[in-house]
Amino acid sequence: MSRLVAWLEDYILPIASRLGQVRWLVALRNAFVSIMPITIAGSLAVLIKSLIQAARDHLGWQTFAFAMQPLVAISDIVWRGTFSLFALFLALALGYQLSKTFEVNRLAGSIVSLASFMMSVANYMKLKMNGDNVIVKNAFDISQFSSTGIFTAILFCSIGVGIYVLCVKARISLHMMANMPHAEQAAFDSLIPGIISIFSVGAINYVFQLSTGLYFGSWLLKTIQIPLVNLGQGFGVVLLVTLLVQVFWFFGINGLSILSPIMDSIWLTAQNVNITAAQNGQVPNYLWVKGSFEVFAWIGGAGGTLMLIVAILLFSKRSDYRTIAKVALAPGIFNINEPIVFGLPVVLNPVYFIPFVIAPLVNVAFSYWITKMGLVNPVQVAVPSIMPPLIGPYLACNYDWRAIILSVVNMLIGLAIWAPFVFAADKIADVNNPKTFFNTQY
C-alpha cells in the first residue's frame, strides 16, 4: 500500500498539480460553472413539463394537466431561452473568464468570443417543404446554438480571445491623449485588438470553407464532437474517468475541477442532448452523462463518503471519529464532503485509499450495466449537485422510481465496502495507542 501511494505521489500528483495551474483549463471550468443558472433553469423546465405529462398519462389527471397548460407553455419558453442557446451562453462565459484570467477587458473579450463563435457556424438552414429540401440562406439553425455547438464554441472562442489577449499584451491599440470617459477609453483600447482577432478568425473560417466546402462548426460536429461523445459512452472510459477523479481527490486535489473541461465537453454535451430529447418527448440518446456520475457514483461527494460517515456512526468505537462523522453528516447528505475528507482525514490516509477509490468504481459499474439493461432510465434532467441521495436520482431520471431502488443498492454496496476499513482504522488506532491497546487486549 505504501509503495502504491508513493508511486501515485511521485508520478500522478505532479501531473494533476500542473493541470490545475493551466489557466485556459481553469477559465473553461469556470465558464461551465458560471452558466449553471442556465443549466438548472432549463432542467427545471423539463422537470415541470414531464411531471404534468406524467400526471396526465399515468394518473389520469386530465383536468389538472389541462389547467397546467400555461405552465407547460412557460416551461417551453424557458427551455427555448436556456438549453436551446447553451453554446451561445458558453461562448460569452468563456470569453469573459479567459479575459478575466489574462487580465484584459472582460466585456470586449466576451464580445470577441461571441463573434468568433458566430462566424464559425453555418448561416443557412435546411427546411423540408412538400417533400423537398429547401435551403434558406442568411438564417441560423438554432440547433447549432444548443449543446451541439459546444466544441465549436470552445475552439473558436479560445482562438479569438487568445489573439485578442496577445494584441493587448503587445500594446497594439489606439492611444487617445484627451481625457475621455472610462467606457469610451476602454472601447478605444480594445478596438484594434478586437478587429485583428475577429478578422483572424474570419480568415481561418474563410480558408477552411474554401478548401473543404463546409462550415467549420458542421465539420467539427461530424468528425470530432459526435465521435468523442460516443467514445464517452464506453464502459472503460467511464471507469477511467471515475478512477482519475478519485486518485486526484485522495491527494487533496479536486478531481472534478481538474477533469471538468473533459467531463463537461463530453458528458455534459451528452446530458444536454438527453434533456432536449426529454423536452421533446423522445427517448434519450445517451446511456451515461455527467449527471450519472453525480447521482450514482458520488453519494455524499467524491468517494461516496456519505457511506463512510454512516459506517463510522454504526461501527466505529472511536469518539473522535464519531464526533467528526456527526459534524460531517448534514453536509454529506447534501453531497458536501470536505468536512469528512479533510477532517478525518481521508486525504493521504493509506487506510482509506482502497475504499475511496473502489466504492465509486463499483457503484459506477453496477449503475452503468443496470442502465444499459434498461432497468433504470438514463439521466435526462440536470439536478443541482447538492440534491440529497434518493431524491436526486429520482428527479434526474425523470421521475423513475427504479432510480431510488438503484440508489439504495448503491448505498448498501458503498457501506459494505467502507465498513471493513472503518474496523481496520479502529484497530490501527488502538495499536498506535498502547494504553488503549493493552486495556482492550487484557
Mean of pLDDT values over 6-34: 71
Whether residues 104 and 190 share a domain: the answer is yes
My answer on whether 89 and 52 are in the same domain is: yes
Q: Would you say residue 259 lies in a domain?
A: yes
Q: Are 42 and 275 in contact (CB under 8 A)?
A: yes
For the chain, the domain total comes to 2
- Quick one: residue 390, left, alpha or beta (phi over 0 = left, psi -120 to 50 = alpha)? left
pLDDT tens digits for range 33-59: 788 888 778 878 877 887 787 777 667
Cβ atoms of residues 262 and 241 within 8 Å: yes
List the single range of 40-54, 128-142, 203-217 with lowest mean pLDDT. Answer: 128-142
Per the domain annotation, does 277 fall within a domain?
Answer: yes
Same domain for 422 and 320, yes or no, is yes
Per DSSP (E only), the strands in 60-106 are: none
Find out whether 416 and 315 touch, Cβ atoms under 8 Å: no
Give buried/exposed letters for 263-289 (b at 16+ CB in 10 A, else e): bbbbbbbbbbbbbbbbbeeeebbbbbb
Whether residues 283 and 321 fall in one domain: yes
**Count of beta carbons in the 10 Å neighbourhood of residue 387:** 18
- Global pTM reads 0.69
Q: CB of 140 within 8 A of CB of 123? A: yes
Residues 319 and 188 in one domain: no
- What backbone torsions phi and psi does residue 127 show, to the nearest 5 degrees? -125, 145
Same domain, 30 and 67: yes
The answer on 244 and 104 residing in a single domain is no
pLDDT-derived band at 7 (thresholds 50, 70, 90) equals low
Local structure of residue 142 (DSSP, 8 states): G
Q: Quick: pLDDT tens for 273-294.
A: 888 888 787 888 889 998 888 8
**55, part of any domain:** yes
Q: Which triple of cell numbers denotes residue 271?
A: 446530458
Predicted confidence (pLDDT) per residue in 150-176, tens digit: 888 888 999 999 999 999 888 887 766
Distance CA 386, CA 405 (A): 20
- Whether 270 and 403 map to the same domain: the answer is yes
**What is the rounded CA–CA span in Å between residue 367 and residue 304?**
14
In a domain, residue 4? The reply is no
221 in a structural domain:
no
Q: Which domain holds residue 389?
A: 235-441
Confirm whether 18 is domain-assigned.
Answer: no
Residue 30 and residue 110 in one domain: yes
Question: Could you tell me which of 82, 227, 98, 97 has the C-alpha nearest to residue 147?
Answer: 82
- For the cut 60, the answer to whether the pLDDT of residue 29 exceeds it is yes
By the 8 A CB rule, do 421 and 352 touch? yes
